[in-house]
Amino acid sequence: MAKQKKTAIEPTREENYPEWYQQVVRAAELAENSDVRGCMVIRPWGYALWENIQRGLDRMFKATGHVNAYFPLFIPKSYLEKEAEHVEGFAKECAVVTHHRLEAGPDGGLVPAGELEEPLIVRPTSETIIGATYAKWVQSYRDLPILINQWANVVRWEMRTRLFLRTAEFLWQEGHTAHETEGEAWEETRKMLEVYKTFAEEYMAMPVLTGEKTAGERFPGAVSTLCIEAMMQDRKALQAGTSHFLGQNFAKASNIQYQSREGRNEFAWTTSWGVSTRLIGGMIMTHGDDDGMVMPPRLAPSHVVLLPIIRNEEDRASIMAYCNEIAAALRQQRFHEREIEVVVDDRDINAGEKGWGWVKKGIPLRAEIGPRDMANHSVFLARRDTGEKQAIGRDEFVGTIAAILGDIQRNLLARALAFRREHTREIDSYAEFKAFFTPANADRPEAHGGFALSHWCDGGECEARISDELSVTIRCIPFDRAAGGGGGCVCCGKPSSGRVVFAKSY
Amino acid sequence: MAKQKKTAIEPTREENYPEWYQQVVRAAELAENSDVRGCMVIRPWGYALWENIQRGLDRMFKATGHVNAYFPLFIPKSYLEKEAEHVEGFAKECAVVTHHRLEAGPDGGLVPAGELEEPLIVRPTSETIIGATYAKWVQSYRDLPILINQWANVVRWEMRTRLFLRTAEFLWQEGHTAHETEGEAWEETRKMLEVYKTFAEEYMAMPVLTGEKTAGERFPGAVSTLCIEAMMQDRKALQAGTSHFLGQNFAKASNIQYQSREGRNEFAWTTSWGVSTRLIGGMIMTHGDDDGMVMPPRLAPSHVVLLPIIRNEEDRASIMAYCNEIAAALRQQRFHEREIEVVVDDRDINAGEKGWGWVKKGIPLRAEIGPRDMANHSVFLARRDTGEKQAIGRDEFVGTIAAILGDIQRNLLARALAFRREHTREIDSYAEFKAFFTPANADRPEAHGGFALSHWCDGGECEARISDELSVTIRCIPFDRAAGGGGGCVCCGKPSSGRVVFAKSY
């Protein structure tokens, strides 16, 4: 392939990380901005990735006893207002439906008409509308638990948007469960966080830390928010999924009451948990390189592309036959939970351009197949993760493709883990903390920072000072915080029961 | 089981068909009305049915070369206005977003704030927003065809709603394709109609007629609308899916232009096609009976429920072990494209109530398993479609379950075909036509009508007169209309090139 040394994506990650990200999304044909403010078009290659994410998660949700259902897109304003912190958290960024038709206006154009008695909010999340339904379903402890998930679109009117990471409309799943006891609801909250961690690491090859959010970073209305946090290649943290213990707050707001085993009326204990198309942004920033996207094989829309190299028209039929035979043999193989998915790309375009297109899209394997390969009963195989290229026998290729894909999957996770390890540091002085989070070179803002494991006094003032001065926040309080021993707060020096995770973040 | 003769659903179909329908939806736990006007909650049993519909259709769409993508929920008002007939068709029933936040109002409550410069319409269908994107993607004939499908929610502010059949928000798929030539676009339009027909008959066991809509019944903005039409048990027609040939109307509205092989700028030719959660309503009204829902096995969320009959606590462990062993053996079997899905219902509730619950939900097979069945190495099996009950050996049950399910699937289709045949008639006089569509007994409005195959002069006046006088419309013009020979219009007597299908409809 041509263009050695030159990278497929400009700028490179070093040159301008945020712009590199946008260019990868574009070059890999994952998504694009639409003409509707903040709303994206998810293109077929990006949507196929989302379908694979859905399939993997859905299987895990069902294996943990959940079923899917579907609730209304619209939430009456009065429902959102039922939980004070909740509405406070979402009122500033919600799409409001006020009319139910258009009619000819005074200047001939159409204007909104048929004003609604009560405005409807396009769901930013569904605790209140689902809670109203659960209140009808639940009478007795026998009706509990309710373990339901919903795949849906939601809207949060963000002012600054970025494809996949922060968009006005996004796709997600939201689990909503109701339980008889506080203990059961806590167990559910933790269980689903573990599902997310397992999925992030085993499917996305994206290592995550788990822990609890500070009070200031909680979901509006939650008693506690648990999260998974990943480190991107610019060393910033990405909150990739959250699981909320809602206590009885939303049950009280929605009146989800049940008659207990003792015959008393009690409020249920509820949880909610979600991940979104943001996960795709996380994969791009974990695995992507200066040539574009790198897909983890377990989620890649296709595993391998066969690229017939036809220099003379008389070779076409025989090379295509050889390619199609190999494709058929590969499709008989399985990797993880799927059959091997193969693309035979016989488009009549420049071979170099074609190959680079697949590099940018991040397909795990590319196999070039020309007359010489056919004569040698081989293919010329390139791995996207390492860039290694080698001729490999046709039979060996077919027989070992699952093993090769497994190796790529492991390599991506190992590489991301090593990166996180390299950029995670225990820091005990504020001077060092400040230096860690300050770019040494203004031209390379991404070449600093990471995860600082530092002591914290649990005070909101220190948290706010660090956020104001350095744009650094507490990403999570590890569950085993105390295991590492106490110390003095990195900011004020007061006693701390253990280290927490600080980072800049998306 | 108890309650012989008494039906599980009240009223029966004969007594009050529309109310019977609502009661089946409720009793089968498929869906319910939400507190949001016209929006439904799709309950887990109904949503699992929808997931199976999605899986079956999605496979067929992909096998015909389509890929999935996702486009914005919101459509700028000016986009909807680009196609005159289109906006005319949807302006009267659309949800309009006018504000992007809530803030404290004068009386303390929250009021809409942050008015948008241009109102956004919650998509009632996506031709215009998708067209705007295709216009960017298409430069040359090499960029065509575009063959994309989207699974999404849409909103049409209907005044009178009915669960699944007509709701303000519903779930659907919408295919949107763009082509180089008129012929290709027509081929696509017809191909997708065939996909719908195949799906309706082979998966839903719901026979459908195909044909073209009259000008008055076309999709707003289409050149031609093709449809599948099914007959419900009240002999009314249900339009179950449509495939639109859009000509160059939307390409011109959205400016989808390409450079042709001859170097000229041309407008693309587009199509769109969709089916929705309405299909679930169609299945209920095709197969349901006075005991509730009847699920066609290919789409049933579960194929069989095992009902342990435990009269003495000391039998519990051994009966449960026997049930679980049978469940495991059944799950090794496959039916059609899936593994056999088995529920073991060991809830500690009244056995009769439990059994009737599953009857109402329409699960294809119920197997009661008590101490005597266990001793005989058998189960007591009931078929939902025929009501037949018999003891059957455990090994025979496991070995033949796929065959039994196949038999149920065939029986449901045959029964529905026979019903349609019985209520389809060639009618040549207006007197007979009028009598056919007029209830002989006002107390049993469902016991009349059906499909009348009658001649029509192609005149809008006759169409309107029949609609006004009898609430009967032309459901479709058969593709082979002329094959049956000409005649005189059933309404005015003028020449007709062949019969068309008249019916009352949903």
pLDDT grade for B445, boundaries at 50, 70 and 90:
low
What CA–CA distance (Å, rounded) separates A236 from A228?
14
Determine how β-strand A473-476 pairs with β-strand A487-488.
unpaired
A74–B51 CB contact, under 8 Å: no
Mutate to test the interface with B, among A101, A147, A149, A153 (most CBs of B within 10 A): A101
With tokens 């209520």, the residue in question is B423
Within 8 A of A39 by CB-CB distance, chain B residues are 72-74
Within 8 A of A77 by CB-CB distance, chain B residues are 102, 110
Question: Is residue A204 in a domain?
Answer: yes
Question: Is residue B205 in a domain?
Answer: yes
CATH code: domain of residue A435 = 3.30.110.30
**Torsion sign across C-alpha atoms B301, B421, B475, B450:** negative
Q: Are residues B249 and B268 in the same domain?
A: yes
- What confidence score (pLDDT) does residue B348 get? 87
B135 pLDDT higher than 50: yes
Report how far Cα A98 is from the mean position of its chain's Cα atoms.
32
Within 8 A of B68 by CB-CB distance, chain A residues are 44, 47-48, 51
Point out the domain boundary residue: B287, B315, B349.
B287
pLDDT grade for B441, boundaries at 50, 70 and 90:
confident
B122–A87 CB contact, under 8 Å: no
B43–A69 CB contact, under 8 Å: yes
B157–A101 CB contact, under 8 Å: yes
Q: Are residues A186 and A253 in the same domain?
A: yes
Question: Is residue B448 in a domain?
Answer: yes
In this complex, the residue of B48, B79, B101 whose CB is nearest that of residue A94 is B101
Using CB atoms within 10 Å of the CB of residue A373, give its burial: 0 to 12 exposed, 13 to 18 middle, 19+ buried: buried
- What confidence score (pLDDT) does residue B172 get? 98
Q: How far is CA A371 from CA A95, A213, A365, in A?
A: 58, 59, 20
CATH code: domain of residue A22 = 3.30.930.10
A316 pLDDT higher than 80: yes
With tokens 């008959």, the residue in question is B201
Q: Are residues B258 and B341 in the same domain?
A: no
Q: Are residues A412 and A462 in the same domain?
A: no
B41: phi then psi, degrees, rounded to nearest 5: -100, 120
Report how far Cα A111 is from the mean position of its chain's Cα atoms.
39
The b/e string for B51-80 (b: 16+ C-beta within 10 A; e otherwise) is: bbbeebbbebbeeeebbbbbbbbbbbbebb
Q: How many CB pairs under 8 A join A and B?
A: 184
Q: Are residues B270 and B371 in the same domain?
A: no
**Torsion sign across C-alpha atoms B351, B355, B358, B364:** positive
Helix (H, G, I), strand (E, B) or coil at A331: helix
Q: Are residues B188 and B70 in the same domain?
A: yes
Per the structure, the count of domains in chain A is: 3
A41–B72 CB contact, under 8 Å: yes
In degrees, to the nearest 5, what angle opens at C-alpha A126 toward C-alphas A121 and A131?
A: 115
**Chain B residue nearest residue A102, CA to CA:** B91
With tokens 């996702």, the residue in question is B70
Within 8 A of A115 by CB-CB distance, chain B residues are none
The minimum CA-CA distance between A45 and chain B, rounded to whole Å, is: 8
Question: Is residue B116 in a domain?
Answer: no
With tokens 């392939």, the residue in question is A1
Count other Cβ atoms within 10 Å, centred on residue A344: 17
pLDDT grade for B3, boundaries at 50, 70 and 90:
very low
CATH code: domain of residue A331 = 3.40.50.800
**Chain B residue nearest residue A30, CA to CA:** B69
pLDDT grade for A300, boundaries at 50, 70 and 90:
very high
Mutate to test the interface with B, among A33, A67, A96, A150 (most CBs of B within 10 A): A96
Question: Is residue B485 in a domain?
Answer: yes
- What confidence score (pLDDT) does residue B446 get? 64
Question: Is residue A9 in a domain?
Answer: no
The minimum CA-CA distance between A341 and chain B, rounded to whole Å, is: 13
Q: Are residues B430 and B412 in the same domain?
A: no
In this complex, the residue of B69, B72, B87 whose CB is nearest that of residue A43 is B69
Beta strands, E only, B185-236 = 209-212, 224-231
B35–A112 CB contact, under 8 Å: no
Q: List Cβ neighbours of A179 (8 Å cut-off, separation of 6 or more).
A: A144, A145, A185, A188, A268, A269, A270, A271
Helix (H, G, I), strand (E, B) or coil at B374: helix
Question: Is residue A292 in a domain?
Answer: no
Q: What is the mean pLDDT of residues A165-183?
A: 98
Percentage of the residues of chain B whose pLDDT score is greater than 90: 93
A3 pLDDT higher than 50: no
**Chain A residue nearest residue B108, CA to CA:** A81
Q: Are residues A312 and A456 in the same domain?
A: no
Within 8 A of A47 by CB-CB distance, chain B residues are 67-70
Write out the two tokens for A478.
């590890």
- What confidence score (pLDDT) does residue A42 get? 98
B44–A69 CB contact, under 8 Å: yes
B74–A39 CB contact, under 8 Å: yes
B70–A109 CB contact, under 8 Å: no
Q: Are residues A428 and A404 in the same domain?
A: no
Query: Which residue range is the domain that position B231 belongs to?
Result: 17-76+124-287
In this complex, the residue of A72, A100, A114 whose CB is nearest that of residue B36 is A72
Question: How much is the mean pLDDT over chain A?
Answer: 96
Q: Are residues A433 and A397 in the same domain?
A: no
Question: Is residue A111 in a domain?
Answer: no
Beta strands, E only, A278-333 = 304-308
B1 pLDDT higher than 60: no
Q: Are residues B276 and B331 in the same domain?
A: no
Point out the domain boundary residue: B420, B452, B485.
B420
Q: Are residues A79 and A187 in the same domain?
A: yes
Choose among B306, B291, B185: nearest CA to B243: B185
- What confidence score (pLDDT) does residue A445 get? 66
The minimum CA-CA distance between A4 and chain B, rounded to whole Å, is: 29
Point out the domain boundary residue: A420, A449, A469.
A420
